[in-house]
Structure 1
Amino acid sequence: MRYIPHSDAERADMLAVIGAKSAEELFAKVPATALLSEPVDLPPHSPEFLVERHMQALAANSHAAGEGPFFIGAGAYRHHVPATVDHLIQRSEWLTAYTPYQPEVSQGTLQMLFEFQTQVAQLTGMEVANASMYDGSTATAEAVLMARRLTRRNRIILSGGLHPHYRDVVRTYVGHGEELECLSASPEGQGDILDRIDDQTAAIVIQTPDFYGHLRDVKKAAEAAHAAGALVIVVVTEVVSLGLLEAPGALGADIVVCEGQSIGNALNFGGPYVGLMATRQKFVRQMPGRLCGETVDADGNRGFVLTLSTREQHIRREKATSNICTNAGLCALAFSIHMSLLGEAGLKKLARLNHANAVKLARMLGTVPGVELLNTSFFNEMTIRLPVPAAPVVEMLAQAGVLAGVPVSRLEPDNPACANLIVLAATELTTNTDIEMLADCLTAALQEDAQ
């Protein structure tokens, strides 16, 4: 039960055990100034069915992603999740499983995480992956800390194309000092990171496709960074792109972090999501989180164990690589099930569908008077510039039932160069009708604004 009521007699028994005469005595040490002088401003209690009706009315005010044309991306993407995924993750042995501290009773969980790690390593082109992180943004910050430990340097350079939220999370982890250099936003694909690398640089952080949808030259950046003794951290927010683009590991990345939400995990109002992290074998002991490995038992049977877990729950805090307390196990399971259903051929086909729909979207946007496409290359996401501020136009389209993307000013409010920009994404769920409706509504909105 989610709520267990207690009788007056039961309450009295509990108070007697702890030596209190009343529940109020439990709060006797709280200063009077910290106590409320009157009840909380909330509605009085209601019958359960009335509360449900009220909540349903509130929900009806929201426009769900599946109710019409949807072009929002910017780090969280709407993809089709097969019904098999939800069916399997809701089995009780998966839904309630937690940390596999005892391998002899956790073989199913450990094998799943082992398979998940294998999939992530193959996707990213790296040699070893951990059993997941919280999400893409915190995985990026953990990668930055990992690079500092490996190089024994502190200077970090963040590309101007890094997602603004990821940049802010890194700042929260490492501070705002001179050792963290955030390059200016580069909506047109400019802002070269190579000229900023020096012999004090621990790592450079590059996102590809970046926040604005541009594909970045990771190989060239890796060569420059490695020449200076720095590491390369590659961030991927749209993991489906790895079904079509060359793996970061093949381009010289030292650490790859991804947001895995696109595979197996619905939008979920922003979470929970699943962070992917992979690296080179030689760096494995500085990788945060936990690592599951394959072994054999005393009888020679195949088995799985927690091979590496250099986190604060297991060893002294000052020796831990991270204070991240768990992995996103259920979300990782959803990712692994969906990826297994797709297989290599299915992932490639899914990636091609995404890109093909994005090409259709780009071509249609090119026919809208006043709209300028800023991308010369993209996967399934792109940036357009309007002749007017973007946020009011996006709101007008939302009122018409079209969720037209993310106005960049929402994430970069202090950058006037971003005021007229919209980031849009197309996935396999985007139809020709959706694209045509977006173009028609955008044309009408710009004409209305011009009048």
Structure 2
Amino acid sequence: MKHRYLPMTEQDRSEMLAEIGIQSVEELFADIPEAVRYKGRLPMSEALDEYALLRHMKRLSDKNADFDSHISFLGAGLYDHHVPVVINHVISRSEFYTAYTPYQPEISQGELQAIFEFQSYICELTGMKVANASMYDGATALSEAAVLASGATKRKKIVVSSAVHPEARQVLKTSAAGLGLEIAEVGCTDGVTDLALLAQAIDGDTAAVLVQYPNFFGCIENLAAIEKLTHDAKALLVVSANPLALGVLETPGKLGADIVVGDAQPLGINASLGGPTCGYFAVAEHLMRRIPGRIVGQTVDRSGKRGFVLTLQAREQHIRREKATSNICSNQALLALCASVYLSVMGKEGVREVGGLNIRKSHYAAARLGAIQGVKVAFGSPFFNEFVLKLPEGSDPGAVNAKLLKEGFLGGYDLGKDYPELAGHMLIAVTEKRSKSEIDEFASALEGCL
């Protein structure tokens, strides 16, 4: 009989106890002092049959406020974008969803080709020469970029804009602590990095300047000006970019970036209540040998047929540990495939169209919400699909969001959690999925909550 799970019978239990030479399960805990052992029964129900258990789990899952049950205006790093149905069809094929980073790569030609296509797409989007097989997520990709920059420049100072995602900055600080890197944060003016403060922060020990494009507030940074300040000090420019925005914005590569990283979640990857996502990592050609993780290369076999191989593996800690440039030795192959399928089915014009829809709809929403009495758009800088709203004096974004939730909306992100100076401000995200009627309904609901 084929089981969906492995059952445990009393006979199984007795045979295992006899095999290890004890009489009861309690004997396994003999080394734990009686005083610290839990006495009694854990507060849980009796065993449920399969049907009852499925109903119970369904009731629990229905308590989630997700993109199916609520209209989302929440972004801050994870977005409610359209995911073409073909993506789930492709990644549900067993040869893909069971795939891991190939350690005997030549026999995994299909997986290697999928990764190669991902790398090629990322290079085209970012304007960079080389991309790797993907990273775990955008935050860890950014910290890896800082580590690479320090190793390449032999410097220890990392200058990062406070408009970079707060969680990414936390990951960066964690990595920096172990490697002895100094982190210097630069503040913002009107929603973008303050260039005067940035110029003061950059010095001869600066390894890299890290900025986000568009930044955490949705505003578009002046990369050309930041590039000049960075390269004048012979530091590296690291840009964390929303890949969907790169369909309509100038590529960081053309604006002089040395390293471009980011999260591929906007490219056909479901938010999945918080993850997993997929990071990408692209560099200028002179940094190719320092790039963390895997690179898939295209070659030909002895018959002259096109083939794919893993290349530059010797940089990784499982091959030459003492010379490793990173502890990354795996990648998000399945989610990178999502991004590749998304970009292939959307095409260049489709990505541009989606980017344009994000811009137009978010700007309509900003005008509509900014017209509510006591509410105003906080910054005047150009933005992509997110913007900051200043609520009326004394308003609590957390309380407002609780009311919006009851109205069927996922409200904006409370910026006061990460930026005390922005207490009473909300970060609103508007993607291509939001219709004019949904935006109008949200505006009415927000006005009612205030």
Shared fold (TM-score greater than 0.5)? yes
Q: Matched residues in 1 for 2:243 and 2:213: separation?
A: 10
Q: Report if the CA contact (8 A) 2:292-2:316 is conserved.
A: no
| Residue 207 to residue 10, structure 1, CA distance change in 2 (3 Å) | same
Q: Residue by residue, what CA displacement relative to the aligned partner does 1:194-245 show, whole Å, maximum 9, x if unpaired?
A: 3210000011110011111110011111111111111111012x32101000
| 2:257 paired with 1:250 | no
Q: Report if the CA contact (8 A) 2:130-2:284 is conserved.
A: yes
- For 2:289, what is the secondary structure of its paired residue? helix
* Consecutive unaligned residues in structure 1, runs of 5 or more: 447-451
| Residue 165 to residue 230, structure 1, CA distance change in 2 (3 Å) | same
| 2:285 paired with 1:278 | no
Q: Which segment drifts farther, 66-75 or 422-431?
A: 66-75
Please name the residue that 1:228 is paired with.
233
In the alignment, which of 349, 354, 361 is matched to residue 358 of structure 2? Answer: 354
| 2:169 paired with 1:164 | no
- For 1:384, what is the secondary structure of its paired residue? strand
Q: Report the AA paired with residue 392 of structure 1.
A: A
Q: Report the AA paired with residue 369 of structure 2.
A: L
Give the CA RMSD over aligned residues: 2.2
Q: Report if the CA contact (8 A) 1:119-1:336 is conserved.
A: yes
| Residue 35 to residue 313, structure 1, CA distance change in 2 (3 Å) | farther
Q: Report the AA paired with residue 133 of structure 1.
A: M
Report the Cα offset of residue 403 of structure 1.
Answer: 1.8
Please name the residue that 1:368 is paired with.
372
Q: Matched residues in 2 for 1:2 and 1:198: separation?
A: 61
Report the Cα offset of residue 350 of structure 1.
Answer: 1.1
Please name the residue that 1:385 is paired with.
390
| 2:109 paired with 1:102 | no
Please name the residue that 2:206 is paired with.
201
Report the Cα offset of residue 33 of structure 1.
Answer: 5.8
- For 2:71, what is the secondary structure of its paired residue? coil
Please name the residue that 1:419 is paired with.
423
Q: Report the AA paired with residue 146 of structure 1.
A: L
Q: Report the AA paired with residue 191 of structure 1.
A: D
| 2:294 paired with 1:290 | yes
| Residue 397 to residue 98, structure 1, CA distance change in 2 (3 Å) | same
Q: Report the AA paired with residue 305 of structure 2.
A: N
Q: Report if the CA contact (8 A) 2:158-2:181 is conserved.
A: no
Please name the residue that 1:449 is paired with.
none
Q: Matched residues in 1 for 2:174 and 2:283: separation?
A: 23
Q: Matched residues in 2 for 1:149 and 1:2: separation?
A: 49
Q: Matched residues in 2 for 1:314 and 1:299: separation?
A: 32
Q: How does 1:274-353 map to 2 (within 5 A)?
A: 274-310=278-314, 312=316, 314-353=318-357
Which aligned runs of 4 or more in structure 1 are off by greater than 6 angstroms?
Answer: none
Q: Matched residues in 1 for 2:194 and 2:78: separation?
A: 25
Q: Report the AA paired with residue 438 of structure 1.
A: F
* Consecutive unaligned residues in structure 2, runs of 5 or more: none
Q: Matched residues in 2 for 1:3 and 1:35: separation?
A: 30
Q: Report if the CA contact (8 A) 1:391-1:409 is conserved.
A: no
| Residue 143 to residue 20, structure 1, CA distance change in 2 (3 Å) | farther
| Residue 37 to residue 215, structure 1, CA distance change in 2 (3 Å) | same
Please name the residue that 1:189 is paired with.
192
How many equivalent pairs are there? Answer: 442
Q: Matched residues in 1 for 2:373 and 2:152: separation?
A: 51
Report the Cα offset of residue 42 of structure 1.
Answer: 2.9
Identity %: 41
- For 1:67, what is the secondary structure of its paired residue? coil
- For 1:113, what is the secondary structure of its paired residue? helix
TM-score computed with the length of structure 2 as normaliser:
0.92
Report the Cα offset of residue 48 of structure 1.
Answer: 2.3
